[in-house]
Amino acid sequence: MLTQNSKAPEFEAIDDEGNTVSLSKFKGKKLVLYFYPKDNTPGCTTEAQDFRDLNEEIVKLNTLILGVSKDSTKSHQGFKQKYCLPFSLLTDSTGKMCEDYGVWVEKSMYGKKYMGIERTTFLIDENGIIKKIWNKVSVTNHAKEVLNTIKSL
């Protein structure tokens, strides 16, 4: 289980443009790495729009936003275009990234158990150290809370 001040796991994933990206590529910048269950669902859409609306402020603080789900690159492209998202969405098709970050968990809906992504956000500093983890995120005011935490670093 990852904790504050631990080293963020290295990752390699495909972004919505088909490029391979890795954590090491972002050295020297802070990173908001947010995991979400599925493109085009109500909570995930609200979360993405809220990060979109604060993106400019976040970028001014030497910080980039990356959204991560198991959706396909094609799904990410449509989601990104539909909601004018200015940041990259990563596809974790193998689930390795979700496993490494501890967000692939057993969930329950209407009494039925299944495996899925627990909505979680990691704030990673310029050296790849996790500065803050938000587990079981409620999307209301979440992006603003992330921005305020970045400002306090």
Catalytic residue ranges? 44
In 3D, which of 146, 135, 145, 139 has the Cα closest to residue 2?
Answer: 135
The answer to whether the beta carbons of residues 142 and 134 sit under 8 Å apart is yes
Residue 8 to residue 13: CA distance in whole angstroms: 15
Residue 82 to residue 76: CA distance in whole angstroms: 10
Residue 10 to residue 115: CA distance in whole angstroms: 23
Residue 129 to residue 68: CA distance in whole angstroms: 18
Residue 93 to residue 77: CA distance in whole angstroms: 15
User: Any residues with CB less than 8 A from the CB of 152 and at least 6 apart, and which?
Assistant: none
Dig out the tokens for 28 from the structure: 């020297």
